[in-house]
């Protein structure tokens, strides 16, 4: 199950929450709902600078169309019937993203800004805020995905590199292992020749799979069915040399299981962490959340300097393959409720309760 943040409309599901947002002119609510004033028959955005009505005169609608259907007319100050600034920015960035995705080489910043209808400096700030990546980093991510696809179709690695839009093989090979998690040839061959030790076991959270490469632990997965866990792992490395762990590895697995049972003891083992630059930022921030604490997806996005990239943050959490070692279970909805978790919401709840108890005991 992927993690989906519910910091948007769900945060303003009740009239009380909506009214509080109106009083605070909360920018997070700008596209979440519309409020209308019975005495003036006018509807506004939650952030409208006009004088606030009495609470008993305010009512709420999902959007401008619903308010107009109820007989209200739009405010002439905040123009709630038009696209909001965040919506316009999202549309501009979407046009730029499509240009990047279909271009053989990265368009210049001026070309992207022109397509977006913004100045080059404003465009760079808006693009980074919306996607969590710079235009250059986004283009690199697109090329990386092209490489993954091309490696399964082209006759040679070199053909795949150029088919994906890289101008030189040297620049690709410099970052290949970080992008693919292994050498390009190995990726093309499904991890052929790659040595991975693994073990399946049981812990209080169900079945656990632990795997290591030559660089450290590369997977910690939780589930209810050992065969499903193993099948998913085998599909990821279809041609790798998967072998049961030796005695040294058994000791590592024991440490991982002990860490699952008592997160407060820490996990002093090397980790093989591979991901994009944005994922690395998110995962690093996750490791800095104290035991027994939680933050929202929106707060995590703020912490990495990309406040508008809430959904991108959630996708990075969902891509985490190291359960507990990278504690994505400590991210919750803005109202404190639990959202989806790759290894199940019940496990997330158990982990948080366990860590809270251990955190209190440590004080």
Q: Active-site residues: which are they?
A: 44, 328
Q: Which two tokens stand for residue 244?
A: 């049961």
CB 41 within 8 A of CB 71: yes
Q: Which residues contact 62 (CB under 8 A, 6 or more apart)?
A: 33, 34
* Contacts of the segment 150-153: beta carbons below 8 A, 24+ positions apart: 151/184, 151/187, 151/188, 152/188
**Calpha distance 61→12 (Å, rounded):** 11
Q: List, in sequence order, the alpha helices (H) in the chain.
A: 15-24, 64-69, 85-102, 109-116, 120-131, 135-151, 157-163, 169-180, 184-188, 226-236, 247-261, 277-287, 297-303, 310-318, 345-362
**Calpha distance 225→157 (Å, rounded):** 36
CB 244 within 8 A of CB 227: no
User: CB 113: neighbour CB atoms within 10 A?
Assistant: 22
DSSP strand pairing (206-213 vs 216-223): antiparallel
**Calpha distance 221→182 (Å, rounded):** 20
User: CB 337: neighbour CB atoms within 10 A?
Assistant: 10
Assign 44 to helix, strand or coil.
strand
């Amino acid at each position: 199950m992927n993690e989906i943040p519910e910091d948007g409309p769900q945060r303003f599901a009740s009239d009380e929450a909506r009214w509080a947002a109106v009083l605070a002119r909360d920018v997070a609510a700008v596209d979440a709902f519309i409020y209308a004033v019975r005495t003036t028959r006018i509807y506004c955005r939650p952030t409208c600078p006009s004088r606030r009505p009495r609470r008993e005169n305010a009512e709420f609608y999902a959007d401008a169309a619903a308010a107009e259907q109820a007989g209200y007319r739009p405010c002439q100050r905040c123009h709630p019937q038009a696209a909001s600034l965040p919506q316009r920015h999202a549309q501009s960035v979407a046009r730029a993203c499509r240009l990047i995705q279909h271009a053989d080489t990265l368009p210049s910043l001026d070309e992207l800004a022109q397509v977006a209808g913004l100045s080059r400096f404003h465009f760079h700030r808006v693009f980074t805020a919306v996607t969590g990546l710079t235009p250059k980093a986004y283009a690199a991510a697109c090329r990386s995905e092209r490489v993954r696809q091309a490696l399964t179709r082209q006759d040679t690695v070199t053909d795949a590199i150029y088919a994906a839009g890289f101008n030189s093989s040297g620049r690709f090979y410099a970052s290949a292992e970080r992008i693919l998690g292994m050498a390009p040839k190995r990726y093309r061959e499904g991890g052929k020749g790659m040595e991975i030790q693994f073990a399946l076991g049981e812990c209080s959270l169900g079945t656990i799979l632990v795997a290591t490469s030559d660089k450290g632990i590369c997977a910690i997965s939780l589930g209810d069915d050992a065969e499903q866990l193993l099948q998913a792992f085998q599909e990821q490395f279809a041609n790798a040399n998967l072998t049961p762990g030796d005695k040294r590895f058994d000791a590592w697995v024991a440490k991982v299981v002990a860490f699952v049972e008592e997160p407060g003891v820490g996990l002093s083992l090397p980790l093989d962490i591979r991901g994009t630059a944005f994922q690395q930022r998110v995962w690093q921030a996750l490791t800095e959340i104290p035991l027994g604490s939680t933050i929202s997806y929106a707060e995590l996005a703020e912490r990495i300097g990309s406040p508008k990239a809430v959904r991108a943050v959630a996708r990075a959490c969902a891509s985490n393959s190291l359960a507990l070692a990278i504690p994505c279970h400590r991210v919750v909805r803005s109202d404190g409720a639990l959202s989806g978790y790759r290894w199940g919401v019940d496990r997330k709840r158990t982990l948080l309760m366990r860590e809270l108890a251990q955190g209190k005991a440590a004080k």
